[in-house]
Structure 1
Amino acid sequence: MHMNPPKLSMFQVLACGAAIVTLSMGVRHGFGLWLQPITQEMGWTRQSFAFAIALQNLSWGVIGIFAGMAADRFGAFRVLMGGAVLYGLGLAGMALSPTPLLFALTTGLLIGAAQAGTTYAVIYGVLGRQIAPERRSWAMGVAAAAGSFGQFLMVPVEGWLIASLGWQQALLALSMAVLLIIPLAFGLREPGFQGAAPPKRDQTIGHALREAFSYPSFNLLMAGYFVCGFQVVFIGVHMPSYLKDNGLSPQVASYALALIGLFNVFGTYIAGTLGQRMPRRFILSFIYLARAVAISIFLLVPLSPLSVYIFSAVMGTLWLSTVPPTNATIAQIFGVQHLSMLGGFVFCSHQLGSFMGVWLGGYLYDATGSYDIVWYIAIGLGVLAGLVNLPIKEAPIQRAQPQAA
């Protein structure tokens, strides 16, 4: 057996990882605030803005697989450094793009790639490798809760920046702020990745992928995560317009998004903690079925600011609470050698769902004049995801013999 390198302290990994996720996720959570100022000043359609954000979700998902491979092979540190630089460039491009095409390339492709290198898949790879299995789900819950707090914190900050600096200068200020990820990344330099030779591995990337995709539970996790992406991004992007169409003030939408971010903190922490104590497939099934019930009740009761706030608090609790149990289950089944890459594949499925949720929301609204059909699809998918998570096997996979690297 080869010697295991020394571990980083749990506090250091959690503090630096949580701060990076707070910045990276917090900035993107407020992008909806720029929709009106940018489209009005530049004379663009809403669809051109929505397309860039949809492209960002796809870019994040697809590039996340390769960012995960690189993080597993060379350590998270280098991937985080690259992601931070791309984030700064992407936000500057978002501020300065003169045409919808350039806007799509910077806001979409560049920022999507930056998020792939600075969010959950990469950070969770470090947590998986550096934190003992009996605390892993809890630690993933803490990191996700921090990211949720970032969403709650950053939206009002971004609103204030736009109001005081104007939308363009606000984006340039954020492009500087995300470079703080670089010093934070130094706290996640893992022992064993510092030398020229990467750590020895028992499995090649090809073996790991063949094993995962031929294992039904991995595909069921991916199916559930597709639904997660569809629901949260449809609601996050289109709910403000849905509320406005129904005569509620823009203030209600702002408070609703902030409440989702706040309750998300509790939901992700509770899900991560429960994941140490009970089967995670039951936690995931409950989350998806509860979302379907919450959306159904929201559509049945008369719409009012109070019903919106209650719905936002309930959905917030269920929002990213799927993240810790899903990633901890992948680590438990397959081990941590290829955790960032496998997490990247599952997350890519989430982002395909996100793309469908955002795009279908806009497409069906234009076609029918209402969001009703998309709400019904979100309910149906929630029931489906609740059911497909039940047969997942969480036990570590049995391997016949070590596979040569």
Structure 2
Amino acid sequence: MSIFRFPLLVWMGIAVLIISLGIRQSFGIFLSPMVESFGTGREFFSLAIAVQNLLFGLFQPLVGMAADRYGASRVMALGAIAYGSGLLMTALTTEPNWLFVSLGALVGLGLSATSYVIVLGAVARAVPPQHTAKAFGLTTAAGSFGMFAVIPGAQAMLHQFDWRFTMELFALICTLMIAFASFVKPGRQPQSNQAVPAQTLKQALREASAHRGYWFIHLGFFVCGFHVMFIATHLPAYLADKGLSAQVAAMALAYVGIFNIFGSYFWGLLGDHYDKRYVMSGLYLMRTAVIAAFVTLPVTEHTAALFGGAIGFCWLGTVPLTSGLVRQIFGARYLSTLYGLVFFTHQVGSFLGAWVGGLIFDHYGSYQPIWWTTVVMAALAAVLHLPINARPVPRLQLQPA
């Protein structure tokens, strides 16, 4: 199936992701003007964003269950309202403590209902199983495209006006997600799913919890979250410690985003043609080699740029493969719930990656121990995916060919 033949639902889901994740990726450029406006330290703003990310993961399984029961369209629309309300409240408040409610809780809830888990769950029901990973890869790439579609405009708005007006504009843009979500309606299920025996949510959770491979998937995604947030949070400081400028760090992160667009689709495409377990192991082996090379070689502008591109290529390629494995093993019916639980584990890893990175640096005065820890974790994640039993559960094997 060509990507141009994907249902309208897929493209509307991608449009929601571009807005939702594009706005989320821009919050870093609001740090300085908001800190100056509220008269707080950077730690206060960082804590509000940390609360947002933790609640983003905590809400995810609950929102996934709601999507599986009531439909992705309704959940995404309500999420867009929460997202826009949080941004508007952030723009209007003059009391910094309210940021934990607005930028933290409301935006965290909005993100959980308008991001990968909900959109991928809807896509899984609209695309035949043999093309799922490719569709998931294209959908994942949209998140990185959103970063480049939104951030430059946000920076221009901050320069021309102020952060409050820009937040209000973002809140208005969130209404577009409501319109796009109205098209994310489940159509007729692919023929291969017609005869799957009926299953309740409770039965689906019991079935997944008894599957050893499901827990290996959790562990692998935990490693992914640890890697992503550690690098995103501490790479600029690490490069500064090595004597490189802030511009070099920004370019390295830009390369991460650019190459992630291509990498997400590439790994998803491989997942449609080869065993997802082996593709996932190959991805983590690539991460192992890339990180090990980066901390071994001299840190220069060129190696920083190369690292950004290489790690970006395997940055979120785990998303289409992980969600594709969950869909392959357990089916599409409760994908939003089951993948939502896996994503929560990813967010726990993200929280620890950001926090432990700073903890190790404060203790040792160097990032070297944590860098080598990420190398070992990547190698372990590569091994963990090999023993996963990726065959559909017996319930799905009962359906006619």
Matched, 1:142 2:141: no
Matched, 1:335 2:331: yes
Matched, 1:179 2:175: yes
Counterparts of 2:324 and 2:249, CA distance in 1 = 33
Matched, 1:161 2:157: yes
Does structure 2 conserve the Cα–Cα contact (< 8 Å) formed by 1:14 and 1:142? no
Secondary structure (helix, strand or coil) at the match of 1:337 reads coil
Q: Which of 64, 76, 81 is the matching residue for 1:68?
A: 64
What's the offset of the Cα at 1:186? Answer: 1.4
Which residue in the other structure is 1:202 paired with?
198
Counterparts of 1:298 and 1:172, CA distance in 2 = 41
Secondary structure (helix, strand or coil) at the match of 1:108 reads helix
Does structure 2 conserve the Cα–Cα contact (< 8 Å) formed by 1:292 and 1:380? yes
Secondary structure (helix, strand or coil) at the match of 2:328 reads helix
Counterparts of 2:169 and 2:367, CA distance in 1 = 35
Which residue in the other structure is 2:353 paired with?
357
Counterparts of 1:30 and 1:252, CA distance in 2 = 19
Distance 1:357 1:222, change over 3 A: same
Counterparts of 1:172 and 1:35, CA distance in 2 = 16
Q: Which of 87, 91, 98 is the matching residue for 1:95?
A: 91
Q: Which of 193, 211, 215 is the matching residue for 1:215?
A: 211
Does structure 2 conserve the Cα–Cα contact (< 8 Å) formed by 1:54 and 1:358? no
The aligned length equals 388
What's the offset of the Cα at 1:98? Answer: 3.8
Counterparts of 1:40 and 1:371, CA distance in 2 = 30
Which residue in the other structure is 1:387 paired with?
383
Deviations 1:335-385 (A, max 9, x none): 111111001001000011111112223333344444333323222211121
Which range moves more in the overlay, 181-190 or 392-401? 392-401
Letter in 2 for 1:322: T
Does structure 2 conserve the Cα–Cα contact (< 8 Å) formed by 1:32 and 1:237? no
Which residue in the other structure is 1:46 paired with?
42
Letter in 2 for 1:285: S
Counterparts of 2:29 and 2:20, CA distance in 1 = 16
Does structure 1 conserve the Cα–Cα contact (< 8 Å) formed by 2:26 and 2:151? yes
Letter in 2 for 1:321: G
Distance 1:257 1:162, change over 3 A: farther
Deviations 1:6-48 (A, max 9, x none): xxx8330221011111111111122222223323443323322
Which residue in the other structure is 1:346 paired with?
342
Which residue in the other structure is 2:54 paired with?
58
Letter in 1 for 2:33: P
Which residue in the other structure is 1:322 paired with?
318
Gap runs ≥5 in structure 1: 1-8, 194-199
Q: Which of 207, 222, 225 is the matching residue for 1:226?
A: 222
Counterparts of 2:238 and 2:284, CA distance in 1 = 22
Q: Which of 30, 33, 45 is the matching residue for 1:34?
A: 30
Q: How does 1:204-283 map to 2 (within 5 A)?
A: 204-283=200-279
Deviations 1:39-92 (A, max 9, x none): 344332332222222222211111110111111111111001111011111222
Which residue in the other structure is 2:298 paired with?
302
Counterparts of 2:358 and 2:160, CA distance in 1 = 31
Which range moves more in the overlay, 281-290 or 358-367? 358-367
Gap runs ≥5 in structure 2: 190-195
Which range moves more in the overlay, 292-301 or 18-27? 292-301
Deviations 1:160-219 (A, max 9, x none): 2222222232222212212210111111122489xxxxxx98111111111101101000
Distance 1:244 1:285, change over 3 A: same
Distance 1:291 1:203, change over 3 A: same
Counterparts of 2:124 and 2:98, CA distance in 1 = 37
Which range moves more in the overlay, 241-250 or 117-126? 241-250
What's the offset of the Cα at 1:400? Answer: 9.6
Which range moves more in the overlay, 321-330 or 153-162? 153-162
What's the offset of the Cα at 1:124? Answer: 0.8
Which residue in the other structure is 2:123 paired with?
127
Which range moves more in the overlay, 309-318 or 152-161? 152-161
What's the offset of the Cα at 1:154? Answer: 2.4
Secondary structure (helix, strand or coil) at the match of 2:11 reads helix
Does structure 2 conserve the Cα–Cα contact (< 8 Å) formed by 1:155 and 1:258? no
Q: TM-score, normalised by structure 2?
A: 0.91
Give me the identity figure in percent.
38
Counterparts of 1:99 and 1:280, CA distance in 2 = 49
